[in-house]
A and B are shown apart, each in its own frame.
Chain A
Amino acid sequence: MAKYIVKRLLLMIPTLLGVAVLIFFLMRVVPGDIVEMRFAGESAFAQKENLDKERARLGLDQPLWKQFVTWMWGIVQLDFGTSMWTGSPIFEEIKLRAALSFQLAVMATVIAVVLAIPLGVVAALKQDTWVDYGVRIFSIAGLATPSFWLGIVFILMLLIVFKWLPPMVYTPFWVNPWQNMLQLIWPALAVGYRYSAVATRMTRSAMLEVLREDYIRTARAKGLWQKLILSRHALKNAMLPVLAVVALEFAFLMGGLVVTEQVFNLNGLGMLFVESVARRDYTLTQALVMLVAFVFIFVNFTVDLMYAWLDPRIRFR
């Protein structure tokens, strides 16, 4: 087991390095740089020496390989540097935004799990009945509805029916939990619906598979209560793939909510990413991509470990 963990951890290094190389050169290929973006429309734009001076200040006059090595050396020391646009440390830039994205992801996960597990279990137990069809239609519709549009519909409904709009300025949870919830519950519901659809489908299929196992038949033959069979024998074994899907979706939510954040005017990581690409803020974009990639790779790794830990058949193979 220890050998497996070490091997998997070591395999993370080339992947992260690959992500670093890809985003570093991708950003340099995007036309225009941060200096041009900043001086665009100013009279100083015409003076080449001003631009060159600014580039030298940001270290952009160095050869590419040198810039890359400097950046990499910083990452090894867990120093992501400062944002090229605002000049403040990237850690500070990301901290508040990440807190918002994280809270939203947690809320959406709670909504998704609370909806998905009962729905998925019921659909599996009543396979091929109208209950099953209903749940399947509900979940396929969840996959088909764009979250950002659902967000727009929520806002519209609140506005037209209740003549009320959720607060548009972010209040941290520890400052005013009520205000915070009033704002974040809507995007969490919009995103949570799609998320629950993914989890419902997985719960249903995992349950169907488990219900056909021999040990369920044995449990039934022993005369165990249906409730006990479901909770202790079936659900426990079916939860593994569901947990995996929920974890991977969570990783996706941490950086993938670009459009929904836009609709609700939330300053999360997705919005920060769009801004930093538009400003050609190389250091900030690179740091964000590395963060999101790391979360994704790490969650993947954790899911695999969880499988090995929860399923002894994998561990002892």
Chain B
Amino acid sequence: MAIRPATVAEVPDVSGRRSWLAQVRDFCRERPLGAIGAAVVVVNILVALSANVVAPYDPLATDYGAMLAPPSAGHWLGTDAFGRDVLTRILYGSRTAMLVGFACAFFGATLGAVIGVASAYFAGKVDLIVQRFMDIFLAFPLIILALAVVSILGTGIQNVIMAITIPMIPRAALVARSSALAIRELPYVDAARAAGFRHRRIILRHMLPNVMAPYLIMLTAYLGQAILLEASLSFLGLGVSEPTAAWGLMLRGAAVQFAEAAPWMAIFPGLAISLAVFAFNLFGDSLRDALDPRLKTQ
């Protein structure tokens, strides 16, 4: 009798849904730090999606009666120099951070992976020329390239995404290329060639899926980096512009000017940035360990 319930419990485990859940459960059990990171990331995304519901105030509503008000029951994290609720603006700011983070990481890692894999696949002269081009972009410090792009295109969220994505591409290409170099020598690539498939099909269908592990690792690493860069650019006044709520922007100007009188303006947005990037890195590290046992020690 004791055996029966056990077998019953095991049966659903074979179905796709349960095994997926079981995988998540295993990940949580084996990598508690990664699970905590993932949970914070999920909460962050949910907050970004539902900012208009969870935020107590309108992010643009000014209240000149409550300028620079300290944290209280009405304003949990205080107000800024225009009397805007800091908590509300942090919640709305996660929209900007998530949008910029996901867009930059996705485009940067994807374009980089395609270029890197193609460069490794074609090898020879193509590879040499592509690598020299990548070297040029790599020699530009990331923030300086982003600064130059913003000065040309102007501020605004789309331009910030572009400014952060462009410097990411050569870095992603470098990683993808080194993984693809090994894959290129494998027999199935030769087989695909012998079968007469075109270059594009071999690169996209046969090689790209096999650099998925480094791709996902880059994606999570770039998410945090993009959020940090967006904050830096916005802080310099070269990123997202007022009155859009963005964490870096909240640290600019009045936050520094009135730092002594109203330290909450300078502290909480920075904590939001740190927590978001921390969660992404924690999750990314564990994901890397789980996906790529060879890299486990790093």
Contact = CB atoms under 8 A, between A and B. Distances in A.
25 contacts: A26-B152, A30-B148, A30-B152, A140-B281, A140-B282, A141-B278, A143-B224, A143-B281, A144-B274, A144-B275, A145-B274, A146-B248, A149-B266, A152-B255, A160-B263, A208-B298, A256-B141, A256-B144, A258-B144, A258-B232, A259-B143, A262-B236, A292-B141, A296-B141, A297-B139
Q: Which 4 A-B pairs have the closest CB atoms?
A: A149-B270, A18-B136, A144-B277, A144-B278
Interface of A: 14-16, 18-19, 22-23, 26-27, 29-31, 133, 136-137, 140-141, 143-146, 148-150, 152-153, 155-156, 159-160, 201, 205, 208-209, 212, 252, 255-256, 258-259, 262-263, 273-274, 277-278, 289, 292-293, 296-297
B181 interface: no
B277 A148 contact: no
Nearest to A159: B260
Interface residues of B, number: 44
B133 interface: yes
A179 B267 CA distance: 28
B91 interface: no
Contact of B236 (A14, A155, A156, A258): A258
B33 A137 contact: yes
Nearest to A209: B297
A277 B148 contact: yes
Interface in B53-106: none
Contacts of A140: 278, 281-282, 285
B259 interface: yes
A30 B147 CA distance: 11
B135 interface: yes
Contact of A146 (B142, B228, B267): B228
A209 B277 CA distance: 27
A63 to B, nearest CB: 21
A149 B144 contact: no
A201 B298 CA distance: 7
B94 to A, nearest CB: 15
A251 to B, nearest CB: 8
A32 B231 CA distance: 26
A23 B184 CA distance: 35
Given A30-B151, A144-B224, A263-B256, A292 B282 contact: no
B274 A156 contact: no
Contacts of B144: 255-256, 258, 273, 289, 292
B152 A148 contact: no
B136 A152 contact: no
Contacts of B133: 18
A152 B266 CA distance: 7
Given A136-B33, A140-B285, A153-B270, A255 B141 contact: yes
A23 B228 CA distance: 24
Interface in B259-298: 259-260, 263, 266-267, 270, 273-278, 280-282, 285, 297-298
B235 interface: yes
Contacts of A22: 136, 140
Interface in B217-274: 224, 228, 231-232, 235-236, 248, 251, 255-256, 259-260, 263, 266-267, 270, 273-274
A30 B255 CA distance: 30
A256 B297 CA distance: 30
B107 to A, nearest CB: 20
A155 B147 CA distance: 26
B132 interface: yes
B157 to A, nearest CB: 19
Given A146-B231, A149-B266, 5 more contacts: A18-B133, A26-B148, A259-B236, A289-B140, A297-B135
Contacts of B276: 144
A250 B21 CA distance: 44
Nearest to B231: A146
Given A144-B277, A259-B232, A205 B147 contact: no
Contacts of B275: 144
Given A141-B278, A152-B270, A29 B236 contact: no
B276 to A, nearest CB: 8
Nearest to B154: A31
B25 to A, nearest CB: 20
A31 B152 CA distance: 7
Contacts of B236: 258-259, 262, 274
Contacts of B132: 14-15, 18
Contacts of B266: 149, 152-153, 156
Interface string B132-176: 110110111111100110011000000000000000000000000
